[in-house]
């Protein structure tokens, strides 16, 4: 009996060993199949991986990407090449002599008077209407045609300026550039290439001056020096048509207009819409034919223009220079001559003009200066007609037996300065 139990245990042990062997073989087979399947799938592209990679990589910021046009408008070759180097070009043709009348004041003037026909055309089409005694202050154009003018001020960031001009040019547009004189040198190649491509360059003073709080000599230097520097960079005597004082101040300043007229300018450039003060959607909602946009060269300006310019193009608008907007000839040129000094401000006759709180004007500065001499104004002044100046005017009016309304009209002016 004991022998039988021994044999039964032996048979169970052999069965257990066989079962373990079978299980081991099955495990080995599964491993081999898994390896084969893994290799097969590894050789195929993973459809999920690209999507994950794309999700992990954020879109570039708008300031880093220049939107390419949906269509392929023709681009001017000179500006396109400006991203690398300024191409060699022939000297620009001189403007016809008939378009302007030569000056002969002998004060190193590089200007000529605008033709009466062109000046009248601008006066008829500018908005708002021209104020008697002043050159046109250009907020926009009276028109039903889908044209707008983009203007670019200061030019503190040359690389951004280059990109902005490239965007506008790629959509078949042009723009008007208002560099301050101190920035002309560092933007020289860009400005020259832009001009050769049909863009327009105008005056934004030498160092972003308000003009209303400087003396006559400094006013002349601020305007003349910027124009002289642009002429030097372009290699021609370059007659500008528009001046834009800092911040659009001084718009109806008699002294500034007198010097502009003396130097052959057509008008003072203002604007309809300030770009980055509004969203692109808002700008498009308020878009109208003949509008003038104000931009600078900051990263924010570049980002918004990269959105706005394609949308203007899609809406059927053409982007033009100020000269093109108003139907004026391109800025005239002549062979480059050496510039030594700014022509002095010629005597001019002051019109009666009411000065109001909020004005930035040379005449406000003169009123503040006189009120200070008379003891009515003790605070510092700079040509801005603020609350303190208004109160000083009221105090003077009371002392002079005038209506104390704080507004410096003709009667208050005469009481301060006499008939002269």
Q: Residue 207 pLDDT > 70, yes or no?
A: yes
Q: Residue 410 pLDDT > 80, yes or no?
A: yes
Comparing CA positions, the residue from 207, 213, 250 lying closest to residue 229 is 207
Q: Across the chain, what does the average pLDDT equal?
A: 81
pLDDT number for residue 95:
38
Comparing CA positions, the residue from 271, 298, 300, 267 lying closest to residue 286 is 271
pLDDT per residue over 160-175, tens digit each?
999 999 999 999 999 9
Question: What is the mean predicted confidence (pLDDT) over 205-218?
Answer: 94
Q: How confident is the model at residue 222 (pLDDT cuts 50, 70, 90)?
A: very high
pLDDT per residue over 234-262, tens digit each?
999 999 999 999 988 889 999 999 999 99
Strand ranges, E, within 232-371? 236-238, 242-243, 267-269, 273-274, 292-295, 318-320, 333-335
**Cβ atoms 257, 211 nearer than 8 A:** no
Query: pLDDT higher for 111 or 38?
Result: 111
pLDDT per residue over 39-96, tens digit each?
433 344 333 233 223 333 333 333 332 233 333 333 344 454 443 333 333 333 333 3
Q: Residue 292 pLDDT > 90, yes or no?
A: yes
Contacts 24+ apart (CB under 8 A), 117-124: 118/266, 118/327, 118/328, 118/329, 119/266, 121/326, 121/327, 121/328, 122/266, 122/267, 122/326, 122/327, 122/328
**Cβ atoms 322, 202 nearer than 8 A:** yes
**Cβ atoms 113, 332 nearer than 8 A:** no
pLDDT number for residue 51:
29
- Lowest-pLDDT range, 92-106, 127-141, 226-240, 298-312? 92-106
CB atoms within 10 A of CB 276: 17
- Helix-strand-coil split of the chain, %, nearest 5: 45, 10, 40
CA distance 25 to 418: 119
């Amino acid at each position: 009996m004991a022998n039988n139990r021994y044999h039964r245990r032996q048979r169970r042990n052999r069965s257990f060993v066989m079962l373990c062997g079978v299980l081991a073989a099955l495990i080995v087979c599964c491993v081999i199949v898994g390896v084969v399947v893994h290799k097969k799938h590894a050789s195929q592209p993973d459809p999920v991986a690209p999507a994950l990679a794309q999700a992990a990589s954020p879109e570039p910021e708008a300031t880093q990407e220049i939107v390419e046009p949906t269509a392929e408008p023709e681009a001017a070759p000179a500006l396109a090449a400006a991203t690398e180097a300024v191409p060699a070009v022939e000297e620009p043709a001189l403007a016809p002599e008939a378009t302007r009348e030569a000056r002969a004041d002998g004060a190193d003037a590089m200007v000529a008077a605008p033709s009466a026909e062109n000046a009248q055309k601008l006066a008829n089409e500018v908005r708002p209407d021209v104020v008697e005694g002043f050159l046109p202050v250009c907020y926009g154009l009276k028109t039903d045609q889908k044209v707008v003018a983009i203007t670019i001020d200061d030019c503190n960031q040359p690389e951004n300026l280059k990109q902005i001009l490239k965007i506008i040019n790629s959509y078949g547009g042009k723009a008007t550039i208002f560099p301050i004189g101190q920035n002309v040198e560092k933007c020289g190649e860009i400005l020259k290439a832009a001009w050769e491509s049909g863009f327009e360059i105008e005056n934004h003073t030498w160092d972003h001056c308000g003009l209303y709080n400087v003396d006559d000599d400094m006013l002349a230097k601020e305007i003349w020096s910027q124009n002289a520097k642009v002429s030097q960079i372009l290699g021609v005597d370059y007659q500008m048509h528009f001046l834009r004082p800092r911040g659009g101040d001084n718009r109806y300043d008699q002294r500034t207009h007198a010097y502009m007229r003396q130097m052959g300018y057509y008008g003072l450039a203002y604007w309809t819409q300030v770009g980055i003060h509004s969203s692109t959607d808002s700008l498009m909602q308020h878009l109208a034919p003949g509008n003038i946009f104000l931009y600078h060269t900051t990263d924010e300006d570049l980002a918004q223009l990269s959105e706005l310019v394609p949308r203007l193009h899609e809406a059927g608008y053409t982007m033009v220079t100020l000269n093109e907007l108003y139907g004026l000839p391109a800025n005239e040129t002549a062979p480059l001559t050496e510039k030594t000094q700014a022509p002095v401000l010629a005597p001019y006759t002051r019109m009666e003009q009411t000065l109001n709180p909020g004005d930035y004007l040379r005449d406000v500065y003169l009123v503040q200066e006189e009120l200070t001499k008379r003891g009515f104004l003790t605070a510092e002044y700079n040509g801005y007609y603020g609350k303190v100046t208004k109160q000083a005017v009221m105090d003077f009016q009371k002392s002079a037996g005038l209506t104390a309304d704080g507004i410096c009209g003709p009667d208050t002016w005469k009481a301060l300065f006499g008939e002269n």
